[in-house]
Amino acid sequence: MTTLDTDARPAVTTSTLDLVGVSRWYGNVVAVNDVTMQLSSGVTGLLGPNGAGKTTLLHMMAGFLAPSRGTLTLDGESTWRNPGVYRRLGLVSEREAVHSFLTAKEFVLASAKLHRLPDPEAAARRAIELVEMTDAQDRRIGTYSKGMRQRTRVAAALVHDPQVLLLDEPFNGMDPRQRLHMMGLLHSLGDAGRTILFSSHILEEVEQVSGTVQVMVAGRLAASGDFRTIRRLMTNRPHVFAVRSTDDRALAVALMADPSVTGVELDKTGLTVRAGDYGAFTRALPKIALARQIRVRQLTPEDESLESVFSYLVEA
Ligand SMILES: Nc1ncnc2c1ncn2[C@@H]1O[C@H](COP(=O)(O)OP(=O)(O)OP(=O)(O)O)[C@@H](O)[C@H]1O
């Protein structure tokens, strides 16, 4: 499939990244464990808590790191140390290289020259336009906001017009306005037919940018596909609440009779309630308490950390 860009730039041919049984270990640490996925045009989010293996996976995709096991190809060619692949792929890494003494134009131009492009000036101009940094391109990077620096790095990664763009935590440290701008940019690149993969450890961030998501937990692919399906999986998981009231024992008996509750434990500090459905339980509790003239003093969801949500997905 071929998609034409709006501003008469060369047509973007869509590319497919294919991972089959990819693993990577560092000594005894298994950073990526038997990951199989396929990515093609559009924006995909790579979601996972810190240390899940996202950076390792992106670096393998970009051909900077060899898989310990498995195959990783871009349109059928292995990415590892393959210059032909580097020409079709761009990576915006997580660590921010400081080039504060350069202007955006100089920085992006240097990237164009590294790629030995036939007309580096024109390529740099196009990439800077694409990230809407033309007005500020002659200022030193040191004077930019975090968002502007990130856009400059995206321009440098896009200067050779790659079909695939990989971004490691591109929204880190951005304010909401900068975030929105970057989201718009990724959308337009995806709509133009490019294959875009960005990593994040923030659920809401991925939800706003991408309908398709790959979830990684402890090196493994825990879930993949449509965001809404995965979101539903996450919210439908069992929830645990700590409840304190004026009569915990009576409340425990009443709660056990409610269909939203799957388990109740009573101890000296109060109740630990397990519920299958978050909404149904939080709606039922006040009614149950009111009917028995029990006052609820505290209702706290427990174990709501992102890590626990992710772990649930792995176990599901
Ligand atoms: N060069 C290395 N040597 C040894 N262990 C490593 C190396 N790089 C990564 N790891 C380990 O591999 C695992 C995955 O790390 P990775 O950086 O890929 O995860 P991540 O999901 O990108 O996390 P973060 O968002 O915190 O960077 C971690 O346990 C990490 O400590």
Q: Using an 8 Å Cβ cutoff, are 17 and 195 in contact?
A: yes
pTM tops 0.80: no
Question: Which helix H or strand E contains 79, and what residues bound it?
Answer: none
What are the residue ranges of CATH 3.30.70.100 in the chain? Answer: 236-315
Strands ordered across the beta sheet of 239-245: 261-267, 270-275, 239-245, 296-302
Q: How far apart are CA 266 and CA 281, in angstroms?
A: 17
Q: Which residue's C-alpha comes closest to atom 14 of ligand 1?
A: 53
What are the residue ranges of CATH 3.40.50.300 in the chain? Answer: 2-231
* Residue ranges lining ligand 1, Cβ < 6 Å: 26, 29, 31, 48, 50-56, 201
Tell me the CATH number for domain 2-231: 3.40.50.300
Q: Which residue's C-alpha comes closest to atom 3 of ligand 1?
A: 26
Q: In percent, how much of the chain has pLDDT > 90?
A: 55
Which of 84, 263, 103 has the alpha carbon at shortest distance from 163?
A: 84
Q: How far is the CA of 32 from the centre of ligand 1 (A)?
A: 9
Residue 310 has pLDDT above 70, yes or no: no
Q: Is domain 236-315 annotated with CATH 3.30.70.100? A: yes
Of 4-13, 50-59, 262-271, which gets the smallest average pLDDT?
4-13
pLDDT band of 305, cuts 50, 70, 90: low
Mean pLDDT of 26-44: 94
Please give the number of the atom of ligand 1 that sits closest to the Cα of 55.
22
